[in-house]
């Protein structure tokens, strides 16, 4: 019933929210999240309007954490800045502008959250009695976006400094509209983008040609982190990495490894990097550094690192390759 790209909220995420609220979610709302954690649905009263359901914070992996960081509690906090928003309301959806929100209400005496949905309109500072009699019915109105097939004649751009943004998970096949060119190309980026506004979903072409960075005056990778604060690279290199290269998912802010006076090409997290390459002479110094740093001195411990997904250990290891001499390098990041 929701946008196809919002996965269900895991039970532990729902329980964590309920713990914070000190009360269970109403069954209908819980049911919605168990189907899809976020996503869009149509307005049962206005054909042209669309709602965005606020997700429940899901920390099961970095991708979900990033996608759900602005959760139901975050939006409720923002909503409460408007003194007319009901003090005992919980904002559950907005219409992209925050001027119209859907909310549920807690009983002031018991704290119990009701199943009815109310509409809050900032411009009238009013909130209306049951907007839709049943949440499920309202959300069943959700329009499922048509699947967009990529144009086969249009070659995907090649990113000199990011080997495969699809493999690293920041780019995916999707019907979403690029916030820069306004087109649904069949692909969307949803990695980091540092800018004042909140646009961050772009097609690969608007990243590659610099138009997204220019239009929103943002960076995909922090310019100061290119070279990891150790080497000063030519400005053109820093510019290409920060403004025309997809980022990657990381716990701390991304760093970009450099070698031979150039930025390295990001290959991915170590468990996804070719084993033969990691066993080669080009990787020897990097392997030694990482073994020392991660305190994994034996070969068996090193193999464990390569075989274990980062979410199951205390650190993620990001691997880059020098575009000139082939040397591997990178860094680790505490999870
Ligand atoms: Zn675009
Ligand atoms: Zn090199």
Domain ends where: 238, 253, 268? 253
Q: How far is the CA of 270 from the centre of ligand 1 (A)?
A: 30
Q: Which ligand is nearest to the CA of 231?
A: 2
Distance 205 CA to ligand 1 centre (A): 6
User: Residue 129's pLDDT is what?
Assistant: 64
Same domain, 235 and 291: no
C-alpha 262 – ligand 2 centre gap (Å): 8
Question: Closest-lying ligand to the alpha carbon of 263?
Answer: 2
Residues 107 and 183 in one domain: no
**Residue 196 or 257, more confident:** 257
Residues 183 and 231 in one domain: yes
- SS3 category, 213: helix
Asked if the structure places residue 5 within a domain, the reply is no
The stretch 181-196 carries a mean pLDDT of 92
4 domain-assigned: no
Q: How far is the CA of 174 from the centre of ligand 1 (A)?
A: 13
* One domain for residues 324 and 281: yes
Q: Within this chain, do residues 85 and 133 fall inside the same structural domain, yes or no?
A: yes
> Which structural domain range is residue 281 located in?
257-335
Average pLDDT value over all residues in the chain: 87
Instruction: For residues 131 and 151, state if they share a domain.
Output: no
Higher-confidence position of 59 and 122? 59
Average pLDDT over residues 174-203: 91
- Angle among Cα 264, 61, 163 to the nearest 5 degrees reads 25
157 and 228 within one domain:
yes
Distance, CA of 273 to CA of 183 (rounded, Å): 33
| C-beta of residue 219 within 8 angstroms of C-beta of residue 213 | yes
User: 203: CA distance to ligand 1 center in Å?
Assistant: 4
2, part of any domain: no
Q: How far is the CA of 164 from the centre of ligand 2 (A)?
A: 20
Q: How far is the CA of 201 from the centre of ligand 1 (A)?
A: 9
Same structural domain, 178 and 220: yes
DSSP state of 149: P
- From the CA of 89, how far away is ligand 1's center (Å)? 37
| Listed residues 139, 171, 187: the one ending a domain | 139
What is the 120 CA–ligand 1 centroid distance (Å)? Answer: 33
Is-contact 195 217, C-beta < 8 A? yes
Write the burial class of residue 215 (CB in 10 Å: 0-12 exposed, 13-18 middle, 19+ buried).
Answer: middle
Q: Does 3 reside within a domain?
A: no
Q: Both 299 and 243 in a single domain?
A: no
230-244 in b/e form (b: 16+ CB < 10 A) is eeebeeebbbbbbbb
Answer yes or no: is 6 within a domain. no
Find the 208 Cα to ligand 1 centroid distance in Å.
10
Long-range Cβ pairs for the range 171-175 (8 Å, 24+): 171/204, 171/246, 172/5, 174/5, 174/148, 175/145, 175/146, 175/147, 175/148
From 148-152, 212-216, 229-233, 254-258, the region with the lowest mean pLDDT = 148-152
Instruction: Tell me the sheet residues that pair with 267.
Output: none
Last residue of a domain, one of 208, 224, 253: 253
pLDDT at 49 over 50: yes
Highest mean pLDDT among 134-138, 153-157, 164-168, 241-245: 241-245
| pLDDT surpasses 50 at 294 | yes
Which ligand is the nearest neighbour of the Cα of 282?
2
CA of 214 to the centre of ligand 2 (A): 30
Q: Is residue 1 part of a domain?
A: no
pLDDT tier for residue 199 given thresholds of 50, 70 and 90? confident
Rg (CA), the chain: 23
Ligand nearest to the CA of 264: 2
62 alpha carbon – ligand 2 mean position (Å): 30
- What local confidence, expressed as pLDDT, does residue 132 receive? 60
Whether residue 140 is predicted with pLDDT greater than 80 in this model: the reply is no
The pLDDT value recorded for residue 46 is 64
Question: Is pLDDT above 80 for 137?
Answer: no
Query: In angstroms, what is the span from residue 293 Cα to ligand 2's centroid?
Result: 21
**Whether 27 and 106 share a structural domain:** yes
Q: Please state the rounded mean pLDDT for residues 73-85.
A: 91
The phi and psi torsions of 238 (rounded to 5 degrees) equal: -60, -40
- Which listed ligand is nearest to 329 at the C-alpha? 2
Q: Which residue has the higher pLDDT, 258 or 230?
A: 258
For ligand 1, the distance from its centroid to the CA atom of residue 75, given in whole angstroms, is 27
Same domain, 53 and 162: no
Does residue 194 sit within a domain? yes
* 263-289 residue pLDDT tens: 999 999 999 999 999 999 999 999 999
User: Would you place residue 116 in the very low, low, confident or very high pLDDT band (cuts 50, 70, 90)?
Assistant: confident
Task: Specify whether 129 is located in the same domain as 212.
Answer: no
Quote the ligand 1 centre to 202 CA distance (angstroms): 5
Ligand nearest to the CA of 261: 2
Q: How far is the CA of 253 from the centre of ligand 2 (A)?
A: 24
User: Looking at the 3D structure of the chain, how many domains does it have?
Assistant: 3
């Amino acid at each position: 019933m929701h946008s196809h790209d919002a996965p269900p909220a895991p039970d532990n995420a729902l329980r964590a929210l309920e713990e914070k609220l000190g009360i269970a979610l109403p069954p209908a709302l819980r049911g919605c999240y168990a189907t899809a954690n976020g996503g869009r649905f149509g307005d049962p009263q206005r054909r042209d309007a669309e709602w965005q359901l606020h997700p429940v914070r899901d920390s099961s992996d970095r991708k979900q954490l990033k996608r759900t960081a602005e959760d139901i509690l975050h939006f409720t906090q923002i909503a409460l800045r408007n003194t007319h928003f009901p003090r005992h309301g919980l904002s559950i959806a907005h219409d992209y502008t925050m001027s119209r929100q859907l909310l549920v209400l807690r009983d002031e005496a018991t704290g119990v959250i009701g199943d009815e949905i109310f509409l809050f309109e900032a411009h009238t500072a009013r909130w209306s009695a049951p907007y839709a009699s049943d949440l499920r019915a309202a959300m069943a109105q959700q329009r499922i976006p048509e699947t967009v097939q990529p144009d086969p004649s249009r070659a995907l751009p090649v990113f000199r400094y990011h080997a495969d943004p699809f493999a690293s998970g920041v780019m995916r096949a999707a019907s979403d509209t690029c916030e820069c060119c306004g087109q649904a190309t069949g692909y969307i980026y949803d990695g980091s983008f540092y800018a004042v506004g909140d646009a961050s979903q772009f097609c690969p072409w608007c990243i590659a040609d610099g138009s997204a960075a220019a239009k929103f005056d943002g960076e995909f990778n922090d310019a100061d982190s290119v070279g990891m604060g150790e080497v000063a690279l030519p400005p053109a290199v820093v510019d290409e990495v920060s403004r025309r290269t997809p980022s990657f998912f990381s716990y701390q802010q991304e760093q970009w490894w450099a070698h031979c006076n150039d930025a390295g090409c990001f290959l991915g997290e170590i468990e996804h990097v070719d084993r033969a390459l990691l066993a080669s002479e080009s990787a020897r110094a990097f392997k030694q550094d990482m073994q020392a740093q991660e305190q994994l001195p034996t070969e068996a411990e090193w193999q464990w690192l390569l075989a274990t997904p980062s979410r199951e250990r205390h650190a993620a290891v990001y691997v880059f390759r020098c575009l000139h001499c082939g040397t591997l390098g990178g860094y680790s990041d505490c999870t």
